[in-house]
């Protein structure tokens, strides 16, 4: 059973990562810096629980807020550049944060052992869950409560005025600006919200793996972050969840019997999916198709 | 800090930077024609170099021919990338194209890992035994060869772009796709040919990376892609002279910090250089007066 709870944890964390990119993508900006914000959440929360001895919930909130603030600061240059320049700038920013952790050294002695982030060696012994007697099931429930809260918040935002504003900026900046939407506030806000969510994901990730290092937060993780919402479709939050379950549950775990060939298939499937469904798996057409199965339409 | 070390590291970096320049040109050309990024480009370049050593393993070849095979193989891969990721995805879905090229990057990378069991492969170097010395100052023969070869490739590319019908068609599509179509230029054919040309350049760059580093490894793909994109942005999207100068500059800059701050901090300074450009000169070195997306 522990295997399935472990899988649930992975899916939960990756859903948070995907949702963090989802918010930013809704405003029409492509960000590849999410892995960087994710790593801020991971390192800062781990330092708070391990070095300062905090409980995980305040550590999670503080580290996520910090990630959100950093993301907001990154959002400002994003006002000057857009499109492909932004892609490159965010890649560079994410890599910069990763390299910062690569060069970051800060250890103290706790209960006879030296703990703390140690440059290229990474940060070992993040043992909040085992030390406090949380079982795999407890951790999985904890993660999914947070995921549910974040999804609920985003789903509600989508249906409120704020979601409409985000989409308006994403569809046509000029039109959005001319009806009085403050582009600066919306873009920076979306970046900060995305950074906050990524920070939560990173904080949880650090605590269930118990060992993090800078290589965990490379460009590939950032591409996964945007892959989930793009593959799932930007229509609603459930697209991201479906994509995460499809990739992490089916492609990564379900096809484990295929061994290394699985990764080959993974790349090929992304190419295929984008050719068939350029607007994501859950787009207007597939929603109509599924609705058609359940409602009787007498008009045709 | 010693002045001699300073000049030595800058010179080595400049010579190696010609590879970054070639990769940057590839990104910039595709951007100029299609207004899209081909993230699988770095993977195609390295894969081309892999094909060339696979061929050289069966037939003994002079090193220069190996380079040519790398270029041709990479050109073929680039054409496949065009078919799989650009031809059938509508222009109105830029996110889908971006994602598809990421999928292609993973696919190519994994094929390479499979074919080589993930082991780094040695690559033949040219003129590695030559070392030109002036006192304590020296130049590596293989780096000079790489520099000269990329200069030749750039001159050929410029000639092609400005003097042949194909090049004129490419530039016309880059400026105004609709007008180019009205003048009887096939968008599809021009785009595909641009991909093949960038592939040729990329394969050459991949082979040169192999020759100067000494080994080829799938781990080279992501760093090369990131550096190429940085060069392409610093030089200004769509500007070939910009990409050349930015490539050389990034190479020199990076090697300087490699010598004086160590390998772990080197790339941080390259990212900082990019941020300086994005803040003070977001259009790149040769920015045009009109801001383009």
Look at residue A70 in the predicted model and tell me its pLDDT: 94
Nearest neighbour of A270 by CB, restricted to B37, B100, B267 = B100
The answer to whether residue A297 scores a pLDDT higher than 70 is no
Three-class secondary structure assignment of chain B: CCHHHHHHHHHHHHHHHHHHHHHHHHHHHHHHHHCCCCCCHHHHHHHHHHHHHHHHHHCCCCHHHHHHHHHHHHHHHHHHHHHHHHHCCCCCCHHHHHHHHHHHHHHHHHHHHHHHCCCCEECCCCCCCCEEEECCEEEEHHHHHHHHHHHHHHHHHHHHHHHCHHHHHHHHHHHCHHHHHHCCCCHHHHHHHHHHHHHHHHHHHHHHHHHHHCEECHHHHHHHHHHHHHHHHHCCCCCHHHHHHHHHHHHHHHHHHHHHHCHHHHHHHHHHHHHHHHHHCCCCCCCCCCCCC
Question: Does any domain span residue B288?
Answer: no
Share of chain A above pLDDT 90, in %: 30
Any domain includes B285? no
Total of domains in chain B? 1
Which residues in chain A are closer than 8 Å to B96, comparing Cβ atoms? 230, 274, 278-279
Q: Is the pTM of this model over 0.80?
A: yes
Alpha carbon of residue A151 to chain centroid: 12
Put simply, the answer to whether B95 touches A218 (Cβ < 8 Å) is no
Compute the average pLDDT of residues A119-126: 82
Nearest Cα of chain B lies from the Cα of A298 at a distance, in angstroms, of 33
Cβ-nearest to A270 among B95, B99, B237:
B99
* Interface mutation vs chain A, best among B103, B232, B287, most A CBs within 10 Å: B103
Provide the pLDDT for residue A86: 85
Mean pLDDT to the nearest integer, B136-144: 80
Across the interface, which of A80, A219, A263 has its CB nearest the CB of B282? A80
The crossing angle, in degrees rounded to 10, of helices A56-75 and A34-46 is 150
Which of B229, B231, B234, B277 is the best residue to mutate to test the A interface, defined by the most A CB atoms within 10 Å of its own CB? B229
CATH for B240: 1.10.3470
Do the domain assignments include residue B289? no
Tell whether B291 is covered by a domain: no
B102 to A270: CB separation less than 8 angstroms, yes or no: yes
- ipTM exceeding 0.90, yes/no: no
**Three-class SS of residue A295?**
coil
Residue B205 lies in a domain: yes
- The mean pLDDT of A229-242, rounded to a whole number, is 86
Q: Do B226 and A91 touch (CB under 8 A)?
A: yes
Residues of chain A neighbouring B102 (CB-CB closer than 8 A):
223, 227, 270
Split at pLDDT 50, 70, 90, the class of B32 is confident
Average pLDDT over residues A253-266: 77
Alpha-carbon gap: B250 to the closest alpha carbon of chain A (Å): 14
Mean pLDDT of B232-249: 90
Which single residue is written with the structure tokens 């930007």?
A: A234
State chain B's mean pLDDT as an integer: 87
Residue A165 has pLDDT above 80, yes or no: yes
Q: Is residue B290 part of a domain?
A: no
Q: For residue B99, what is the nearest residue in chain A, using CA coordinates?
A: A227
Domain that holds residue B33: 3-280
Q: Please indicate, yes or no, if residue B166 is contained in any of the structural domains.
A: yes
Partner-chain contact A85 B237, CB within 8 Å: yes
- B65 CA: distance to closest CA in chain A (Å): 30
| Cβ within 8 Å, pair A99-B265 | yes
pLDDT of residue B290: 46
What whole-number distance in Å separates Cα of residue A104 and Cα of residue A72?
23
Is there a domain that residue B232 lies in? yes
**Closest approach of B292 to chain A, Cα-based (Å):** 9
Q: What is the pLDDT of residues A47-98, one digit of tens each?
A: 999 888 889 999 999 999 999 999 998 888 767 777 778 888 898 899 999 9
- More confident of the two residues B151 and B123: B151
Q: Do B37 and A84 touch (CB under 8 A)?
A: yes
Q: How confident is the model at residue B26 (pLDDT cuts 50, 70, 90)?
A: very high
Q: What pLDDT shows up at residue B225?
A: 92
Q: What is the mean pLDDT of residues B130-150?
A: 82
Give the nearest partner residue to A82 out of B99, B264, B293, using CB atoms: B293
Separation in Å, CA of B121 to nearest CA in chain A: 20
pLDDT per residue as tens digits for the range B244-261: 999 999 999 999 888 888
pLDDT digits (tens, 9 = 90+) for A179-215: 888 888 898 999 999 999 999 999 999 998 888 988 8
Do A230 and B96 count as a contact with CB atoms less than 8 A apart? yes
The whole-number pLDDT of residue A298 equals 53
B113/A218 touch (CB, cutoff 8 Å), yes or no: no
């Amino acid at each position: 059973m522990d295997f399935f709870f472990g899988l649930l944890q992975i899916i939960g964390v990756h859903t948070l990562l995907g949702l963090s990119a989802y918010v930013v993508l809704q405003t029409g900006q492509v960000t590849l810096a999410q892995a960087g914000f994710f790593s801020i959440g991971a390192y800062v929360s781990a330092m708070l629980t391990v070095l300062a001895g905090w409980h995980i919930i305040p550590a999670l909130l503080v580290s996520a807020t910090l990630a959100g603030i950093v993301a907001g600061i990154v959002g400002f240059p994003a006002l000057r550049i857009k499109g492909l320049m932004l892609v490159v700038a965010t890649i560079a920013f994410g890599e910069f944060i990763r390299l910062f952790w690569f060069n970051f050294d800060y250890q103290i002695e706790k209960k006879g052992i030296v703990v703390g982030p140690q440059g290229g060696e990474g940060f070992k012994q993040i043992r909040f869950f085992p030390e406090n007697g949380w079982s795999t099931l407890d951790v999985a429930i904890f993660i999914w409560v947070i995921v549910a809260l974040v999804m609920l918040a985003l789903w509600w935002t989508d249906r409120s005025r704020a979601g409409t504003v985000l989409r308006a900026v994403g569809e046509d900046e000029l039109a959005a600006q001319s009806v009085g939407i403050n582009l600066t506030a919306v873009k920076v806000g979306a970046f900060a919200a995305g950074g906050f969510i990524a920070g939560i994901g990173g904080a949880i990730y650090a605590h269930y793996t118990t060992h993090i290092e800078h290589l965990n937060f490379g460009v590939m993780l950032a591409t996964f972050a945007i892959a989930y919402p793009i593959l799932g479709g930007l229509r609603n939050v459930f697209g991201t969840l479906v994509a995460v379950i499809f990739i992490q549950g089916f492609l990564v775990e379900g096809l484990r019997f295929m061994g290394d060939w699985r990764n080959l298939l993974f790349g090929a499937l992304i190419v295929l999916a984008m050719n068939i469904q350029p607007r994501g798996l859950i787009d207007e057409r597939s929603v109509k198709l599924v609705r058609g199965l359940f409602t009787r339409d007498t008009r045709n | 800090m010693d002045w001699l070390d300073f000049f030595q590291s800058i010179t080595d970096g400049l010579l190696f930077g010609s590879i970054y320049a070639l990769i940057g040109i590839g990104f910039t050309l595709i951007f100029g024609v299609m207004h899209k990024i081909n993230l699988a480009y770095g993977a195609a370049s390295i894969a081309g170099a892999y094909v060339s050593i696979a061929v050289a393993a069966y037939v003994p070849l002079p090193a220069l021919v190996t380079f040519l095979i790398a270029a041709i193989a990479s050109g073929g891969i680039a054409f496949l990338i065009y078919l799989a990721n650009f031809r059938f995805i509508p222009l109105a879905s830029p996110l889908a194209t971006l994602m598809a090229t990421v999928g292609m990057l993973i696919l190519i990378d994994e094929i390479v890992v499979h074919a080589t069991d993930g082991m780094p492969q040695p690559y033949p170097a040219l003129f590695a035994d030559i070392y030109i010395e002036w006192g304590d100052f020296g130049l590596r023969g293989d780096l000079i060869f790489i520099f000269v070869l990329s200069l030749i490739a750039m001159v050929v590319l410029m000639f092609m772009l400005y003097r042949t019908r194909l090049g004129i068609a490419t530039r016309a599509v880059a400026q105004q796709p609709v007008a180019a179509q009205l003048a009887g230029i096939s968008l599809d054919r021009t785009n595909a040919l641009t991909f093949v040309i960038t592939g040729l350049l990329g394969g050459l760059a991949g082979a040169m990376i192999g020759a100067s580093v000494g080994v080829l490894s799938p781990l080279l793909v992501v760093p090369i892609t990131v550096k190429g994109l940085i060069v392409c942005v610093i030089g200004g999207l769509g500007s070939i002279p910009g990409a050349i100068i930015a490539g050389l500059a990034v190479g020199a800059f990076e090697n300087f910090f490699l010598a004086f701050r160590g390998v772990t901090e080197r790339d941080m300074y390259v990212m900082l250089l990019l941020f300086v450009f994005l803040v003070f000169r977001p259009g790149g070195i040769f920015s045009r007066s009109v801001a383009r997306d």
